[in-house]
Structure 1
Amino acid sequence: MTILITGADGYVGWPTSLRTASQTDGRVLLVDNFARRDWVDEVGSVSATPVHPIETRLEAAEQTHGLTNLSFVEGDLTNKAFVNELLNVHEPDTIVHTAAQPSAPYSQINGERANYTQHNNLQATRNLLWGLEEHGLTDTHFIETTTTGVYGAPEFPIPEGGATMENQSEQDDVPFPAMAGSWYHLTKSHDAANMRLAHQQFDIPVSDVRTAIVYGTQTEETRADDRLNTRFDFDYYFGTVGHRFAAQAVAGYPVTVYGKGEQRKPFISLEDAVEGLAQLALADPDNRPDDLVVYNQVTRAISIVEIANTIADVGDDYALDVDVEHFENPRDEDETHKMEIEKERYMDLIGEQAQDFEAGIQDVLDTLTEHADVIKAHEDRFLPGVLEDRLDD
């Protein structure tokens, strides 16, 4: 068996690679072009945790966990010739596609970055899907991390995938409409539609894993050796809300909540996200679904103000004096929206939640307090500014 993992240098992709390789004797081939490192550098920031070169990571994986089945290929998935060679040479049985430009704020900076995000994300996915068809690999299980952001913020419980539409007393199941709120999130709506079309036309088995906001710094595998760290972004563009709040607390800043902050967002720990992807990657070809299946990769919805208050409470154990401050909300959003999202299919996949939010914040603060100097040296990155200044020059 050969499992191909794209975006394997990334926050979710790297620990997923380790988990997958640790549970199979098959080959796990990693692919990345290291663009995430360049994007973060472009906005004037850095990972709080040191991110070692891929060669060092692979060496540590073998020395620490005995993983001799990991290998790496550098390449750009938007390059059709590279994808053709990759698939032709390695003929993967499974593809876990985590490669993407993942930042909504980055995609919103200007038209150039909106275009880049859409081209990068959509072209990579199309190249892989068409490549499977053109190289006779339509039995390959295609797994992609899209996003719960494709759903927007509807006023009804979000289904795990499609919806039922009724018109003039007739009804049918249809894909959930694209209600994304950024140029990045819309790429994942388009990817979902393209995967559905590829399944219909090419009969490729597809798992559309709609990933919530991920929190945490470690998994069982990465915790064993500092060289195995995954990245941790805390800046305005690439740091998620929980990570940004935690970094603010470590730097001595008040945790800034816009408006009431009572709106709930879907969350999942890094440990639980990795476990689900590994389970899908390792699924027996004879037993996995041949259909297109949508998973809501989420364990619970959490309000923004609960995130801030949890960080303040846990921060007491680290001698952090954390203030939670509310500011006028510059965004046009419902500050009291109570998201409900179905997740039974994904929870069946992982069995039970491995890490709740409070434990995840403890994990984050354990790590960030060790690297407080890095955060403080880049504390101006909590808010936008540096990149815009560069664009104006």
Structure 2
Amino acid sequence: MKALILGIDGYIGWALALRLLSKGHEVAGIDNLSTRRFSAEVGSDSAFPLPSPKERVEAVKRKLGTDLKFVVGDAKDKALLEETIREFKPDVVVHFAEQRSAPYSMKDYEHAWYTLENNLKSTLALLYAVSEIDPSIHILKMGTMGEYGTPNFDIPESAFVKALIEGKEDVIPTPKWGGSYYHWSKIFDTFLILFKGKLSGLTVTDIMQGPVYGTRTEEIIDEELRTRFDFDETWGTVINRYCVEAILGLPLTPYGKGKQTRGFISLEDSVEAMRLLIENPPKEGEYRVVNQFAEVYNVTQLAEIVRDASKELGLKVEIKNVKNPRVEAEEHYYNPEVKVLPSLGFRPKKNIRDETKTMIMDLLPYKERLERFKHVIMPKTIWK
């Protein structure tokens, strides 16, 4: 198969490219390198030094013995998308080319507007490009479990649900409630996809994924092939942030009560799940929703797991709750449905307890580098 990855330079985008190449698929990617710039904007950087796009392509050729096309460009550029799709003729386009940080979107008006404009424009450009060139191309879109918020009902793995409206049964889109402008951009994405998909008969997999953690996949065999790893308050996911706090001798910092519950998945399992979804597309013209996560924990339980793993590795670690900068339910019901991936044979290989030790061991050699970014770990972006 041929896969075009929008956002190939990112944490998951690069890891997915390596997985697909290792399985014999052809891969091309587009990325405007914005995460590198935005990380620098907040005074941070990847825990692992990142090669340039040219160096990454050369490393793939040396290490994996295969070619990779990496286009430095913007997925909002519809003309670029059209040119690349016509030239490469992909079977699937994977859409990761969005501003992916909730805190970044909540900094101020400019960051909120950038998030909405960038994410919606790139999605709409892709929908139109595919519908005008070849509507049979499978679009794999990265959404987020955060689209649902924390409702007091089971979260179905479905685009639509039955509801009673004024005493009559009707079918409505699954209710959603974002917790940041980033999450609202993802919700608006979903409705754009539903609407344009119906108009043009598009084939779409919309992945509602939980937070991802981890430093490696089976293909990341040395530093030249590493993906980025963010740990600061703006870009780092909670487990990644805890691991760096442990290495630097800082307290692990659950926000507020620490009872916020989410579904988590390792980087290895995330890319393997997406490989299965790519190799097993929905029926032509179908819109498929996939809830993608492997384990459910609250953020205090995660801190305890990281603390215990750190102690086994000789690190002294304590947990210290800090004031929650976000506006969110700190105690809530959480029960999402997961059916699609198990039906395709997906079984998670990793678990948080074991993977946390691997992450800490991978990060320890970079302690001196991480020390330079101590100041960006504690929360500074206040939702209200």
**Shared fold (TM-score, shorter chain, > 0.5):** yes
Q: Which residue number in structure 1 is paired with residue 311 of structure 2?
A: 316
Give SS of 2:364's match.
helix
Q: Tell me, which stretches of 5 or more residues in structure 2 are unaligned? A: none
**What amino acid maps onto 1:4 in structure 2?**
L
- Asked whether 1:282 is paired with 2:283, we answer no
8 Å contact kept, 1:144–1:207: yes
- Asked whether 1:207 is paired with 2:202, we answer no
Stretch deviating more after TM superposition (249-258 or 202-211): 249-258
- Asked whether 1:255 is paired with 2:266, we answer no
With normalisation by structure 2, the TM-score equals 0.94
8 Å contact kept, 1:64–1:225: no
Counterpart Cα distance in 1 of 2:36 and 2:345: 30
**TM alignment of 1:76-91, pairs within 5 A:** 76-91=74-89
Counterpart Cα distance in 1 of 2:288 and 2:296: 22
Shift of the 331–127 alpha-carbon distance from structure 1 to 2, 3 Å rule, reads closer
The Cα offsets for residues 31-84 of structure 1, whole Å up to 9 and x where unpaired, read as 11111100001110010011111222222222222223x211121111222222
- Aligned with residue 145 of structure 2, among 114, 126, 148: 148
Shift of the 200–175 alpha-carbon distance from structure 1 to 2, 3 Å rule, reads same
**What amino acid maps onto 2:357 in structure 1?**
Q
8 Å contact kept, 1:234–1:244: yes
Q: Which residue number in structure 2 is paired with residue 157 of structure 1?
A: 154
**TM alignment of 1:35-184, pairs within 5 A:** 35-68=34-67, 70-135=68-133, 137-161=134-158, 162-184=160-182
**What amino acid maps onto 2:270 in structure 1?**
A
Counterpart Cα distance in 1 of 2:267 and 2:287: 24
Q: Which residue number in structure 2 is paired with residue 27 of structure 1?
A: 26
- Asked whether 1:294 is paired with 2:286, we answer no
**Number of equivalent positions:** 381
Counterpart Cα distance in 2 of 1:338 and 1:368: 34
Q: Which residue number in structure 1 is paired with residue 231 of structure 2?
A: 234
Q: Tell me, which stretches of 5 or more residues in structure 1 are unaligned? A: 389-393
The Cα offsets for residues 253-311 of structure 1, whole Å up to 9 and x where unpaired, read as 0111233312311211111110111122233x7x7554100000111221111010000
- Report the Cα offset of residue 344 of structure 1: 1.8
Q: Which residue number in structure 2 is paired with residue 373 of structure 1?
A: 368
The Cα offsets for residues 312-354 of structure 1, whole Å up to 9 and x where unpaired, read as 0000122110101223445443332241111121233352111
**TM alignment of 1:315-354, pairs within 5 A:** 315-349=310-344, 351-354=346-349
Shift of the 204–310 alpha-carbon distance from structure 1 to 2, 3 Å rule, reads same
Q: Which residue number in structure 2 is paired with residue 7 of structure 1?
A: 7
The Cα offsets for residues 355-375 of structure 1, whole Å up to 9 and x where unpaired, read as 011122122112211211121
8 Å contact kept, 1:20–1:281: no
8 Å contact kept, 1:275–1:350: no
Shift of the 196–297 alpha-carbon distance from structure 1 to 2, 3 Å rule, reads same
Q: Which residue number in structure 2 is paired with residue 246 of structure 1?
A: 243
- Report the Cα offset of residue 3 of structure 1: 1.4
- Report the Cα offset of residue 90 of structure 1: 2.3
- Report the Cα offset of residue 104 of structure 1: 0.5
With normalisation by structure 1, the TM-score equals 0.92
Computed over aligned residues only, the root mean square deviation of the Cα atoms, in angstroms, reads 1.8
8 Å contact kept, 1:299–1:347: no
- Report the Cα offset of residue 169 of structure 1: 4.7
